[in-house]
């Protein structure tokens, strides 16, 4: 139940450490040792206490521990971290508390402690069920290790589990994507995220594949997840040597590098359409561009971002938006260990607020409510975007539901949402 007297707040905690860096990843994370992780957590707990004092008028509705690899935390570290949150903030009793969990980094005992400490949703970064694809991505785990962890999580009492998958991987065929999708859905997780691999600048994959996917990263950049997630690049170590670059599955290899080629555009499209069909057939409703859930299991924390509700991000590089103030912590670890000053702060003007409302709202299949829009901005969406909306409605990409007063993408609009959304920049 929401706290009547306090405003709802989403709390994000960043844990910036991984066993090693995956070749495609530009999230803020780097390898670490035990001492470094412990020192960071001491600092994070201190930040929780310091910031908590300023947020006594709020109640934590959702909590999300992301990374990096938060499951590198011991049971005791996680328990202390969550106890600190409960001491420093008001928390809603039935809130969604998610933690990202990397296959190959956890076990049954630890998962039980996480559950007892208050985590009630797990998000597994599986990416693929194909060990060869996992190897090229630079993942540290196999599909089998994921399965073991997944079963252990169910036994530990987790009844709300997400699995992250990625398509359009090096060497991936539509058949192998189909296989990954089917195997993941067969486990009946409550939630599935299916992303298309983005070749991010500055990553080892950029060196290997940057030319093949030029332009793609730019489009994604405009429509970032509410500003959260894609800022702050970590230093990326050189490509580790491969023991063997042989492949026995007939993959097309990139000349010189020994890495398989990316699927061509047609295969990528096919994979995308397969995702929708296979997941729909198995009872997963798409509620956002890349997110699918059983009814009632949509990720509340991410919905806070897309609906532009207040959220506070703590830890290295974490992003926040409270009121129309957007701010984030430094991405420089040595600075973070010394002071908690915000490094980027801006007040969003009306234009930016309107653009964001459209970008983030339209990503969700529910779309944007004209009523809510009017209450916020004092005029109808039609006043501002009339021409564009009419054009895309007549072309069948957008639909306006008169009765509900909501503007949303049609299915074909969702397929090209990135391109259409750029027209909503004022």
Ligand X SMILES: C[S@@+](CC[C@H](N)C(=O)[O-])C[C@H]1O[C@@H](n2cnc3c(N)ncnc32)[C@H](O)[C@@H]1O
Q: Report the interface residues with ligand SF4, using CB under 6 A.
A: 18, 21-22, 25, 27, 29, 67-69, 102, 125
Distance (Å, whole) CA 112 – CA 114: 5
Distance (Å, whole) CA 164 – CA 157: 20
Cis peptide bond upstream of 93, omega within 30: no
DSSP 8-state code for residue 260: B
**Residue 228 binds what, of ligand SF4, ligand X, none (CB under 5 to 8 Å, by partner type)?**
ligand X
Q: How far is the CB of 313 from ligand X (least distance, A)?
A: 3
SS3 222: helix
Query: Which of 62, 69, 106, 275 lies at the binding interface for ligand X (CB under 6 A)?
Result: 69
Check residue 125 for interaction with ligand X (CB under 6 A).
yes
Of 1-9, 97-105, 173-181, 378-386, the window that binds ligand X (rule: CB under 6 A) is: 97-105
Check residue 409 for interaction with ligand X (CB under 6 A).
no
Check residue 197 for interaction with ligand X (CB under 6 A).
yes
Distance (Å, whole) CA 143 – CA 252: 22
Instruction: Write the DSSP assignment of 281-320 as a string of letters.
Output: HTTPEEEETTEEESTT-S-HHHHHHHTT--EEEESTT-EE
Q: How far is the CB of 34 from ligand X (least distance, A)?
A: 18
First-to-last alpha carbon distance for the chain, in angstroms, is 38
Q: Angle at the Cα of 328 (from 47 to 17), degrees rounded to 5? A: 65
Q: How far is the CB of 360 from ligand SF4 (least distance, A)?
A: 23
**Residue 21 binds what, of ligand X, ligand SF4, none (CB under 5 to 8 Å, by partner type)?**
ligand SF4
Site for ligand X, residues 14 to 33, rule: CB under 6 A: 14, 24-25, 27
Tell me whether strands 17-18 and 30-31 are parallel, antiparallel or unpaired.
parallel
Q: Angle at the Cα of 402 (from 396 to 407), degrees rounded to 5? A: 50
Distance (Å, whole) CA 197 – CA 208: 14
Q: How far is the CB of 32 from ligand SF4 (least distance, A)?
A: 11
Q: How far is the CB of 209 from ligand X (least distance, A)?
A: 11
Count residues near ligand X (CB under 6 A).
30
Query: Which of 32, 102, 106, 369 lies at the binding interface for ligand X (CB under 6 A)?
Result: 102
Of 62-70, 275-283, 369-377, 410-418, the window that binds ligand X (rule: CB under 6 A) is: 62-70
Picking from 308, 312, 319, 315, the residue whose alpha carbon sits closest to that of residue 345 is 319
Q: How far is the CB of 259 from ligand SF4 (least distance, A)?
A: 17
Please report, as ranges, the residues that interact with ligand X according to CB under 6 A. Answer: 12, 14, 24-25, 27, 66-69, 98, 100, 102, 123, 125, 127, 162, 164, 166, 191, 193, 195, 197-198, 200, 228-229, 299, 313, 318-319
């Amino acid at each position: 139940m929401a706290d009547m007297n306090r405003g709802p707040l989403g709390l994000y905690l960043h844990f910036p450490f991984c066993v090693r860096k995956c070749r495609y990843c530009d999230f803020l994370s780097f390898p670490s040792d035990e001492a470094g992780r412990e020192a960071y957590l001491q600092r994070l707990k201190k930040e929780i206490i310091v910031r908590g004092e300023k947020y006594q008028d709020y109640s934590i509705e959702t909590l999300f521990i992301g990374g990096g690899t938060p499951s590198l935390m011991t049971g005791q570290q996680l328990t202390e971290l969550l106890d600190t949150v409960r001491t420093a903030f008001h928390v809603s009793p039935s809130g969604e508390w998610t933690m990202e969990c990397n296959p190959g980094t956890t076990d049954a005992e630890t998962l039980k402690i996480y559950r007892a400490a208050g985590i009630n949703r797990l998000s597994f970064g599986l990416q693929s069920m194909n060990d060869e694809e996992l190897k090229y991505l630079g993942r540290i785990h196999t599909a089998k290790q994921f399965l073991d962890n997944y079963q252990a999580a169910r036994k530990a009492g987790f009844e709300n589990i997400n699995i992250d998958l990625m398509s359009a991987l090096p060497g991936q065929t539509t058949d192998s994507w189909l296989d990954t999708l089917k195997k993941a859905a067969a486990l009946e997780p409550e939630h599935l995220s299916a992303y298309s691999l983005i070749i991010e600048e500055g990553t080892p994959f950029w060196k290997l594949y940057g030319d093949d996917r030029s332009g793609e990263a730019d489009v994604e950049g405009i429509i970032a997840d509410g500003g959260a997630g894609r800022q702050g690049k970590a230093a990326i170590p050189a490509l580790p040597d491969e023991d063997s670059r042989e492949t026995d599955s007939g993959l097309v290899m990139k000349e010189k590098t020994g890495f398989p080629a990316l699927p061509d555009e047609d295969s990528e499209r096919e994979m995308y359409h397969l995702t929708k069909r296979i997941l729909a057939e198995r009872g997963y409703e798409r509620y956002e561009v890349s997110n699918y859930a059983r009814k009632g299991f949509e990720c509340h924390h991410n919905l806070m971002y897309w609906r532009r509700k207040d959220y506070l991000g703590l830890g290295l590089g974490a992003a926040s938006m409270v009121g129309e103030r957007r701010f984030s912590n430094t991405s420089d670890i040595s600075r973070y260990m010394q002071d908690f000053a915000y490094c980027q702060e801006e007040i969003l003007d009306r234009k930016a607020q309107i653009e964001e409302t459209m970008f983030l709202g339209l990503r969700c299949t529910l779309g944007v409510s004209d009523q809510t829009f009017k209450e916020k901005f004092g005029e109808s969406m039609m006043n501002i975007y009339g021409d564009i909306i009419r054009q895309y409605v007549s072309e069948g990409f957008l639909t306006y539901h008169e009765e509900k007063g909501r503007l949303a993408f049609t299915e074909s609009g969702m397929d090209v949402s990135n391109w259409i959304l750029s027209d909503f920049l004022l």
